[in-house]
Copies of this chain bind each other. A is one copy, B any other.
Amino acid sequence: MRRVAIYAIGKREDRCTQHLLEELRTNAKRFVHIQWHQIYTKQIHQAQRTHEAQQAYTQALEPHLLQGWFNVALDPKGQEMDSFAFAKLLERHTKMAFFIGGAYGLEDAFLRRCDLVLSLSKLTMSHKVAKIVLVEQIFRGCSIINHHPYHK
């Protein structure tokens, strides 16, 4: 079974966001097993400056950069792609991890350790909205791979 793990810096999402994500996960269940983890540490909470916050994100996220997984960081500086290119990416990698930074963004040192840096849009989005876009795109991508009519 295809697996996707999403690691996002931040506290637990509100009930409605969780519901929307859950609905997309259920729709995608026949194609992919999606898990997400909100990560929020004491260091992240206490960080006051960009550099300090970014280091705290790296510390919290790097244990999840696993070998054998294709690791993708979401970042506005990343590569944009359309839904068909994203579907091809999903098709090529049966284990994918996505990393979403906090308000200060991910540090370059972390980005360099990922296999791909991806931008969802030129527009900046809140983490909540980015996660909804990403999970819907994973479902759309799986629908494209499996010739399911959702993406039409």
Chain A interface residues (CB < 8 Å from chain B): 16-17, 19-20, 76, 80-83, 86, 103, 120-126, 129, 132-133, 136-137, 140, 151-152
Residues of B within 8 A of A136 (CB): 125-126, 129
Residues of B within 8 A of A124 (CB): 82-83, 140, 151
How far is it, in angstroms, between the C-alpha of A19 and the C-alpha of B19 when the chains are bound? Answer: 11
Residues of B within 8 A of A152 (CB): 103
Identify the closest chain B residue to A85 (Cβ). Answer: B122
- Knowing A20-B20, A129-B136, A132-B129, say if A123 contacts B120 (CB, 8 Å): yes
A-B contact pairs, 23 of them (CB 8 A): A16-B17, A17-B20, A20-B20, A76-B82, A80-B121, A80-B122, A81-B122, A81-B123, A82-B122, A83-B123, A83-B124, A86-B123, A103-B152, A120-B121, A121-B133, A124-B140, A124-B151, A126-B136, A129-B132, A129-B133, A129-B136, A132-B132, A133-B133
Instruction: Assess the A133–B122 pair: CB atoms within 8 A.
Output: no
Which of A83, A122, A133, A151 has most chain B Cβ within 10 Å? A122
How far is it, in angstroms, between the C-alpha of A140 and the C-alpha of B127 when the chains are bound? Answer: 13
How far is it, in angstroms, between the C-alpha of A136 and the C-alpha of B123 when the chains are bound? Answer: 10
Residues of B within 8 A of A17 (CB): 16, 20
